[in-house]
Structure 1
Amino acid sequence: MEKFADELDMAQAHIEREIEMRVDAIQSHANLGHGRRFCIDCGEAIPESRRRHVPNAKRCAECQDAKERDGSPVRRCAA
């Protein structure tokens, strides 16, 4: 029974290391400013200043405001 507990402990430690490595990778990616260049709602370019200050920005400021206000995206792109 002790051997089984040791194997479970090793498996748990492996899982915890794997999670920690993935979280670190995600945080590193976020800190490098790998956001989107174009808004996912309206398709317009996200200004560089916004991408620099909000590295994971997926929306332009206008669409983000609209989403936070009432949940509806701003549709400007006709293409």
Structure 2
Amino acid sequence: MEKFADELDMAQVHTERELQLRIDVIQRHANAGLGRTFCIDCGELIPESRRQHVPNAQRCAHCQDRMECSRSPVRRSAA
């Protein structure tokens, strides 16, 4: 039984290490500002000012707004 527990502990340590490595890569990319030059939706150039303020921008402001609005829940009046 003790051997099984040791193997589980080793598996958990490995899983936690893998997760931390993935988190580190994502943080490095975020800190490096590895966004896109062109919008992934419309293909238009993402303005330099947006890329400076949102270093990881994948979309132009217009497409980002449209995407966020489409994901927000619809509010209905109580009438």
TM-score when scaled to structure 2? 0.81
Q: What residue number does 1:46 align with?
A: 46
Higher relative contact order (CA 8 A, sep 6+): 1
Q: What residue number does 2:13 align with?
A: 13
Determine the C-alpha separation between the residues in 2 that align with 1:32 and 1:63.
Answer: 23
Q: Spell out structure 1 runs of 4+ moving beyond 4 A.
A: none
Q: Deviations over 1:32-74 (max 9, x none)?
A: 0000110111111001221121122111011111222236xxx
| Partner-residue secondary structure (3-state), 1:41 | coil
Structure 2: gaps (5+ residues): 72-79
> What letter matches 1:39 in structure 2?
C
Determine the C-alpha separation between the residues in 2 that align with 1:67 and 1:18.
Answer: 32
Determine the C-alpha separation between the residues in 1 that align with 2:29 and 2:68.
Answer: 25
Determine the C-alpha separation between the residues in 2 that align with 1:69 and 1:22.
Answer: 30
**C-alpha RMSD over aligned residues:** 1.3
Q: What residue number does 1:68 align with?
A: 68
TM-score when scaled to structure 1? 0.81
The change in CA–CA distance for 1:70 and 1:15 in structure 2 (over 3 A counts) is closer
Number of aligned pairs?
71
